[in-house]
């Protein structure tokens, strides 16, 4: 977990090429600031993220992982929301088994114009992660 002196937690965001990545880009365009320790890896679809990648991130020192999910806008079909939810559920179970607090994994649907929502979500996640690491 993050050291107590850190101002911001280290968060890995899995975003999606067609939906949430444009929203994150637009957050920058609008100069909506969020902690610079939020890093993004882009994938085609949020329902294609492997649990092992998420667990690898914790193992390597990330405080939190945020899945910026396609939600109902997914270009690959309506089942994305359900499947992303399932993979998050499975990963949380694995996190419990490894003694990692499941709340360090967060998912929210971020549409292609949901810049403000993205910034709000990562800021509150950052605050949560800092609070829990300091308690």
Partner 1 sequence: MEKKIGVYVCHCGGNISDYVDVEKVRQAIEDEGGVMLAKTTMFACSDSNQKDMVDDIKKNDLNGVVVASCSPKLHLTTFGNVSERAGLNKYNYVHANIREQVSWAHSDDKAGATEKAIHIVRAAIAKARFTESLEPNKIEAQKAVAIIGSGVAGMKAAIELSNMDCPVYIIEREFFIGGRVSQWGAMFTTNETGKEVVTRLYNDMIRRPNVTVFTGAEVITNVGSIGDFKLKVKITPRYVKEKCDRGKLQQAIDACPVVVPDEFNFNITSRKAIYHNFPSEYPQAAVIDMKSCTRCGKCESICDNIDFSQKEEILDIHVGSVLMATGFDPYTPHDGEFGYNEFANVVTLPQFKRMIELNENKLMHQGKEVKNIAYIYCVGSRQEEGGNTYCSRYCCTSAIHASLLVKKKYPSVYNYHFNRGIRTYGKQESLYYDSSAQGDIYLQAYEDALPVVTWNGSNSIVKINDILTGGREMEVEADLVVLVTGMVPRAENSVGTLFKLPKGRDKFFNEIHMKLRPVETFIDGVTIAGACQGPKNIMESVNSALSAATKSFSYVSKGELETEPIVAVIDPVLCTWCDACSKACPFDAISMTKDGTKSIALINNSVCKGCGMCLPVCPTDAIELIAYSNNEIESMIDALAHD
Using DSSP bridges, classify how beta strands 38-43 and 105-109 pair: parallel, antiparallel or unpaired.
unpaired
- Show the DSSP H helices in 1-135 as ranges: 20-29, 51-59, 80-97, 115-134
If one asks whether residue 27 binds partner 1 (CB under 8 A), the answer comes out as: yes
d(CA 62, CA 24): 19
Q: Which range in 30-38, 92-100, 102-110, 126-134 contacts partner 1 by CB under 8 A?
A: 30-38
Nearer to partner 1, 90 or 98 (CB): 90
Give the binding site for partner 1 (CB under 8 A): 10, 12, 21-22, 24-29, 31-37, 39-45, 47-53, 56-57, 60-62, 72-80, 83, 87, 90
């Amino acid at each position: 977990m993050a050291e107590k002196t850190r101002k911001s937690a280290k968060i890995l965001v899995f975003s999606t090429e067609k939906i949430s990545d444009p929203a994150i880009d637009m957050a920058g365009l609008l100069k909506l600031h969020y902690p610079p320790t939020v890093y993004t890896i882009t994938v085609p679809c949020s329902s294609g993220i492997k649990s092992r990648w998420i667990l690898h991130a914790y193992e390597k020192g990330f405080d939190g992982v945020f899945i910026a999910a396609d939600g109902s806008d997914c270009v690959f079909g309506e089942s994305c929301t359900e499947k992303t939810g399932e993979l998050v559920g499975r990963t949380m179970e694995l996190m419990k088994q490894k003694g990692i607090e499941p709340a360090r994994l967060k998912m929210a649907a971020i549409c292609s114009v949901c810049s403000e929502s993205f910034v709000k979500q990562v800021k509150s996640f950052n605050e949560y992660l800092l609070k829990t690491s300091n308690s």
